[in-house]
Amino acid sequence: MMANAAALARIPSEEEYPSVHLLLLVTGSVAAVKTGLLLDQLSTERCNIRIAATKAAFHFLRRAQPSMTGIPFQSIITDEQEWSEWQAMSDSIVHIELRRWADLVVVAPLNANTLAKLATGICDNLVSSVMRAWEVRAKPVIVCPAMNSAMWTHPLTATQLSQLEVIYMDPHDKAESTEEKTATPIVATPASAAAAAGVVTSPLPEVAAELSLPATLKESMFQIVGPISKRLACGDIGIGGMATVEEIAAHIRHTMELIREDKRRQFLEAREKAEGAAVPVAVVASPVQPASAQLETKACPVVQAPAPANAA
Ligand SMILES: Cc1cc2nc3c(=O)[nH]c(=O)nc-3n(C[C@H](O)[C@H](O)[C@H](O)COP(=O)(O)O)c2cc1C
């Protein structure tokens, strides 16, 4: 009994339960007030989190909704930091380092302005530069649009999200996943309005009635966690509010597990190669509770998220 208890209490090795590097990009939308609540959702995950935010995002981050984790302002990487860190040829370039470090990027909230930049390749700040340098179709991207209904239903939104999907998702992987998972797709832009505007739209999940999670890592390369209908900050009632933090976290957790599976496979392959024999090795899948998420930045001290009661 004692031995079992001890085994359950131990922290799993990196090989058994690989940690995941999660990069959270926050843009200027009212929904940025939920950043702390999103971090709360991830506090029991074994992952390292770095956060970068646009200048506009800080306006909302400073007015964040109360959360257990809080907003780790001292850790959030800013445009200014990107510039000040580079002083000589030997210095690292923050947006390149971040894209290299991250296993997964989440843009939450993704506002209309940054959506337009990502779709067209504009990279005039840290957030858009990271995305412009992203390893497309190799590392997953999750975007969580948030905007006023008028902006969400504007034809540009569907067009630009479709453009992103084409860039980030291999069409073969998308075809499989779309057929299997999107039973009743809803268009972001009314088809008639889009057609009148001469815009090609693709089906997008306007309201996630039930979670539609990717089955494989390849299918996870581009995920839109669609907005919800609610009373928006402007007072309008309608579609455009960022998906709930629970739904976003479910996508993140699921994608992190797909990344872990891939890392485990790489560990096994490397070990087998090193041993020079194809002897199968048993790997314990997620045997114990993961350690808490860590918020970190390169330049700033590591900030440990407060350990929740049920954390290891
Ligand atoms: C009070 C306020 C709320 C806003 N909320 C949103 C929003 O929810 N979604 C959006 O797309 N833009 C919103 N905007 C507009 C963006 O903040 C603006 O386009 C800004 O330039 C975005 O900069 P960024 O993309 O660098 O973060 C809001 C602006 C203000 C003043």
The per-residue pLDDT for range 144-173, each reduced to its tens digit, is 999 999 999 999 999 999 999 999 999 888
Closest residue by CA, ligand 1 atom 4: 29
DSSP class of 244 = P
Helices assigned H by DSSP within the chain: 2-9, 35-41, 55-61, 79-85, 94-101, 112-120, 126-132, 149-152, 155-168, 171-181, 191-196, 245-275
**Cβ of residue 30 lying under 6 Å from some atom of ligand 1:** yes
Amino acid at position 46, single letter: R
CATH: 3.40.50.300, 3.90.1010.10, 3.40.50.1950, 3.90.1150.10. Which one for 20-173+215-272?
Answer: 3.40.50.1950
Between 302 and 154, the more confident residue is 154
Structure tokens at 141: 């991207």
CA 115 to ligand 1: nearest atom: 25
The CA 245 to ligand 1 mean position distance, Å, reads: 19
Q: 18-27, 87-96, 198-207: which has the minimum mean pLDDT?
A: 198-207
Q: Is the pLDDT of residue 98 over 90?
A: yes
Confidence category of residue 175, pLDDT binned at 50, 70, 90: low
The b/e string for 10-44 (b: 16+ C-beta within 10 A; e otherwise) is eebeebbbbbbbbbbbbbbbbbbbbbbbbbbbbbb
Please give the pLDDT value at position 2.
52
Q: What is the pLDDT of residues 45-60, one digit of tens each?
A: 989 999 999 999 999 9
SS3 content of the chain, % helix, strand, coil (to 5): 40, 15, 45
The CA 180 to ligand 1 mean position distance, Å, reads: 35
CA 117 to ligand 1: nearest atom: 25
Q: Where are the domains of the chain?
A: 20-173+215-272
**Cβ of residue 151 lying under 6 Å from some atom of ligand 1:** yes
* Cβ-contact 158, 199 below 8 angstroms: yes
Closest CA to 83 of 123, 125, 54, 53: 125
CA 147 to ligand 1: nearest atom: 9
Closest residue by CA, ligand 1 atom 22: 28
* Cβ-contact 30, 114 below 8 angstroms: no
* Cβ-contact 280, 72 below 8 angstroms: no
The b/e string for 129-145 (b: 16+ C-beta within 10 A; e otherwise) is bbbeebeeeebbbbbbb
CA separation, residue 230 to residues 146, 147, 192, 272, 279 (Å): 11, 11, 24, 53, 55
Q: 14-18, 126-130, 298-302: which has the minimum mean pLDDT?
A: 298-302
- List CB contacts of 206: < 8 A, sequence separation 6 or more: 186, 187, 188, 226, 227, 239
pTM metric for this prediction: 0.81
Closest residue by CA, ligand 1 atom 24: 28
**Cβ of residue 26 lying under 6 Å from some atom of ligand 1:** no
Please give the pLDDT value at position 6.
61
**Cβ of residue 29 lying under 6 Å from some atom of ligand 1:** yes
Q: Is the pLDDT of residue 262 over 50?
A: yes
Beta-bridge mates of residue 238: 230
The CA 147 to ligand 1 mean position distance, Å, reads: 8
DSSP class of 249 = H
